[in-house]
Amino acid sequence: MILRRILHSAFRTGGDQNASRLLRFSANTEMLLSDRMEALRLLSVWTNPPAVDQSLGRHAPLPPREKGPIESSLTRELPSLLGLNDEISEAVLNLARQYEVALEKP
């Protein structure tokens, strides 16, 4: 439960550094897959955050955000994330499509 609070705190705080943290967390195969998928789900709603703080269950709206932090973080982290052989790869591809981040050819 504490880990989920930390993930949601990074999401609510926002910024490039926290977007990167959530992406790097999702790549950590030592963590539970469900927690890693939650980090990616939070990134999928980054630009239009829910009005409810999902870790505390209270109304705490955030303004819409620019997609820049996600785009730059995804561009940096995408190669390592796509190398994973689990459900994360598909979720990462969906996130890249959502934010229109191009996959670079080697």
Which of 32, 29, 25 minimizes the C-alpha distance to 11? 25
**Residue 37 phi, psi (nearest 5):** -65, -35
The pLDDT of residue 86 is 73
C-beta of residue 38 within 8 angstroms of C-beta of residue 7:
yes
Q: pLDDT digits over 61-86, tens only? A: 999 999 998 898 899 888 888 888 77
Q: What pLDDT is attached to residue 20?
A: 93
47-63 pLDDT per residue, tens = 999 999 988 889 999 99
Asked whether the whole model's pTM tops 0.75, one would answer yes
Q: Which band of pLDDT confidence, cut at 50, 70 and 90, is reported for residue 21?
A: very high
